[in-house]
Amino acid sequence: MKNALKIRLMLALGAMATVVTGCSSVSGGPELPQAPTVSVREGPGEDYMIGPLDQLTVFVWRNPELGAKVQVRPDGRITTPLITDMPAVGKTPTMLAQDIKLQLSQYINDPIVSVIVNEFAGTTSQQVRIVGATEKPASIPYRANMTVLDAMIAVGGLSEYAAGNKARLIRHNKGTGVQKEYSLRLGDLLKRGDSKANVLLEPGDVIIIPDRKSVV
């Protein structure tokens, strides 16, 4: 009788250990589909919205003295010859060029203006943020066809005590306004080279990587 109780107890403990082990392997939530190894049909991403601290070049055809290389100020504005405190944040380069053209039309006839973004900082909605147990937590500008592997390379990979397979990706759906959470297998991706764990990112994604000490 005692032996039977011992066996049942051992089986129960074993089952509990299996559950705990299984839960610690990956975080909860659905997984995203694997990113293609080679992007056969790479296309442009969403129109880039200028953000604070972006470096811009404003070019005015046949009037180079009215152009300038400027950095978007923290308040989201720029100043160029003849134009003071022009709002730039939240506009595409084409939109900003049109606004500059309207202002310059007061001084010259039919100006032709182009705006080029030389260095990207991006608005929060067009950044990918990586926080938690990584070597260099950071916000990085999103680029077309960016994957989670690209993002992790940019921040130096996982820290020594990261629970990579418990990482989560938070994604906000602009259309519905709903926020959804997905599980990531960063440990498998970075330490085992499992390409199936590599997924495509979207602008505004947040990657959260817990420390092993904080994972039950």
Nearest residue to 124 (alpha-carbon basis) of 18, 17, 206, 25? 206
* Predicted pLDDT at 181: 96
Instruction: Note if the pTM is more than 0.75.
Output: no
In whole angstroms, what is the distance from residue 151 CA to residue 42 CA?
Answer: 18
Nearest residue to 88 (alpha-carbon basis) of 124, 114, 50? 50
* Predicted pLDDT at 63: 96
Domains of the chain: 55-119 (3.30.1950.10), 123-216 (3.10.560.10)
Q: Average pLDDT for residues 64-92, to the nearest whole number?
A: 95
In whole angstroms, what is the distance from residue 92 CA to residue 96 CA?
Answer: 6
pLDDT in tens, 118-173: 988 777 888 899 999 999 999 998 888 899 999 999 999 999 999 999 999 999 98
Position 40 pLDDT exceeds 60? no
Residue 12: which pLDDT band, with cuts at 50, 70 and 90?
very low
Above pLDDT 90, what percent of the chain? 63
